[in-house]
Amino acid sequence: MTINATNKAALSRLPQAQQLVERSWQRSREYGLNKHSRMDPFCLPISDVKHKKQQHALLLGYLNSSLPLFEQLQQGRRCRLLFADTQGTILFSAGDPYFGNQAQKIALANGASWHEQSMGTNAIGTALSEQQEVSILGQQHFLAANHGISCSASPVLSPSGELLGVIDISSDMGEHAQDMLLTARLMALAVENALVMNQHHAHWILNLAPDAGSLQQPWSGIIALREDGQLLGANRSARHWLNELDIPAMLAQLQQGQLTPVKQGIALLSRQAGSRIARSVADNAPAQCPRESTALKLMARQIPLLVQGETGTGKDHLVRRLHQASARAAGPLVAVNCGALPSELLEAELFGYVSGAFTGSHKQGRPGYIRAANHGILFLDEIGELPLAAQTRLLRVLQEKAVTPLGCHEPQAVDFQLIAASHKDLADMVEQGTFRQDLYFRINGFTLQLPSLREYEEQDFTRLLERLLTELAAKEAFLSKISIDEEAVHRLRSYHWPGNIRQLKQQLEVAIVLAEGQSINVTHLPELPQMSDLQPRTRDLKSLTDQLVVQTLNENNGNVSAAARQLNMSRTTIYARLKALGKH
């Protein structure tokens, strides 16, 4: 499986499944494994396994109830059905008890870990690393000890879209059938749908199906709504459409009986009963906000994107959404915080190096982040922190679409979509000579400016707050819903949030712990100032900010760059403020 220097270029022409296996083999080598390592999975103590099972009790219950479907699809073939959590730990094992040799039976038992770090390339560990479904057949396993088995695995997502683990089907190599991956996918979809449809406090379950015959199909879109229309969860099919759904309009139609009720608690969103909404979903995919739709169109033409915004405004969240919705979703998303890389190792980490390139280097060399992003997306966060020498090398990579590892003179072709981000004003850095102008033009094919949290309109802030609480409710398995009283919402809305969305999310996590399952109130928000300290900002935050911008500009004789540095704002934000005031 090793790809040597003479056929590196051929890797880009391999099928995606083969590229995925090669990436996994490379990770296995980097973990220090070799193909003749003994198969020795790490096994958790029984008490820890019991605790993990309690955390996933609902999911495991649905999986157990789906066993008849599994047995019907496999028709007596010798194989095992497994569920492993995000750490690769097996928590569910069913099927043929005689499959595999004694060592494999132990390795496929509850508590055994199949993470790539200990077991190398395998369906469970590789599906977790790649976050996509995968089959690893026979000798595609990194460890020779696993060459006698074949496995197919599919990720399982929570109603909020978070990875919960993978469902795997394993068999002897000679008995593994092509439809086993499809079975794993159907089992995963069935479990995901059950998790959505059994959300506590869900008053409406909407199935985004074209007709009643498609209602129970595992691939149809399903969303769960509270009685007041708050979204409680969605399966993976529906999640792509959420931005296109007019939930208030749907709620009104449901309450007026204009959507066809199928049975208690379930409604069919049909073309006949809800034709306008159904067409908006079916005819306008993919579902992104205008900003993201524009970005995806540009990414399809390989135009680089620059995301600007203050720290904590959600730049990484936006990039993850773009990756999932883009044509490169099957490829890797390699995120690099340029400000966190040690200066002495920065170029080695970015561009990679060959064996013996410098003292202390890994004996097998490293591919580097840029080559790791081949056929995917390279996200360079805080790109303004790159020193000028690294900026020069990066510019050459972008111009030549090839990277030359340290200690090597042969450039190696790379294909990736670049997304860069910074909380600094890069144009201002260009003026100061701390960022290369030619690199700035190269990375800035299109700028996405993210607003600070203090710039949010009240409706947008409320919508964000509801989304964060829904995500945290799904994360805390013991909570069906997290409520918050009006005074606490007012306190949150009034604060200036220097840390933006990241700070808000952390504050909510603290409040949830302090609330101990009760509704969040102001006593659970200890880090925020008292309301008396916030009255001026509460009265008219935007007006005060606009006034400060104008005043600072006047003090700097209209020099936007100087005002931006003094206010710690981007020039784009200042121009937007001036335009809204009719002064630009």
Output the CA–CA distances (angstroms, integers) from residue 570 to 205, 397, 420, 429, 441, in the order listed. Answer: 44, 28, 16, 11, 17
Q: How far apart are CA 230 and CA 251, in angstroms?
A: 10
The confidence score (pLDDT) of residue 114 equals 93
Residue 423 phi, psi (nearest 5): -90, -10
Given the DSSP bridges, would you call strands 305-308 and 446-449 parallel, antiparallel or unpaired? parallel
Given the DSSP bridges, would you call strands 163-172 and 79-85 parallel, antiparallel or unpaired? antiparallel
The confidence score (pLDDT) of residue 13 equals 53
CATH number of 537-580, picked from 1.10.150, 1.10.3680, 1.10.10, 1.10.3470: 1.10.10
At a CB cut-off of 8 Å and minimum separation 6, what does 181 contact? 133, 134, 135, 152, 154, 169
The confidence score (pLDDT) of residue 101 equals 65
Is the preceding peptide bond at 367 cis, omega within 30 degrees of 0? no
**What would the DSSP string read from start to end of 442-499?**
HH-SEEEEPPPGGG--HHHHHHHHHHHHHHHHHHSTT-S---B-HHHHHHHHHS--TT
The confidence score (pLDDT) of residue 538 equals 37
Specify the CATH superfamily of domain 5-196: GAF domain (3.30.450.40)
Please tell me the pTM assigned to this model: 0.46
Quickly name the fold that domain 290-449 has: Rossmann fold (3.40.50)
Q: What HEC string does 239-274 produce?
A: HCCHHHCCHHHHHHHHHCCCCEEEECCEEECCCCCC
CATH number of 453-533, picked from 1.10.8.60, 3.40.50.1220, 2.60.120.380, 2.60.40.420: 1.10.8.60
The confidence score (pLDDT) of residue 428 equals 86
CB burial readout 160-186, b (16+ within 10 A) else e: bbeebbbbbbbbbbeebeeebbebbbb
pLDDT tens digit sequence for 216-240: 556 678 888 887 888 888 988 888 7
DSSP SS3 for 13: coil
Q: Which residue has the tokens 């996405």?
A: 448
The confidence score (pLDDT) of residue 330 equals 79
The confidence score (pLDDT) of residue 277 equals 30
Q: What is the pLDDT along the chain (584 residues), one digit of tens a residue?
A: 444 444 455 555 556 778 899 999 999 999 999 998 877 778 888 888 889 998 898 899 888 877 877 877 776 778 889 999 999 999 998 887 666 666 667 688 889 999 999 899 999 999 999 999 999 999 999 999 899 899 999 999 999 899 999 999 999 888 888 788 988 988 898 899 888 877 767 777 777 755 444 445 566 788 888 878 888 889 888 887 777 777 787 777 666 665 544 433 444 443 222 322 332 232 233 345 667 888 888 898 889 999 998 888 889 889 988 988 888 887 888 888 888 877 767 778 888 887 666 555 556 677 888 888 888 999 999 999 999 988 998 999 999 999 888 777 788 899 999 999 998 889 889 988 999 999 999 999 888 989 889 888 888 898 889 888 877 776 665 445 688 999 999 999 888 888 899 899 989 988 888 887 788 998 888 767 543 344 444 334 556 667 777 878 887 888 888 777 777 677 777 777 777 776 65
The confidence score (pLDDT) of residue 4 equals 47
Q: Which residue has the tokens 């976050």?
A: 131
The confidence score (pLDDT) of residue 282 equals 29
Question: How many C-alpha atoms does 451 have within 13 Å on its Cβ side?
Answer: 14
Would you kindly state where each structural domain of the chain is located, as residue ranges?
5-196, 199-283, 290-449, 453-533, 537-580
The confidence score (pLDDT) of residue 264 equals 37
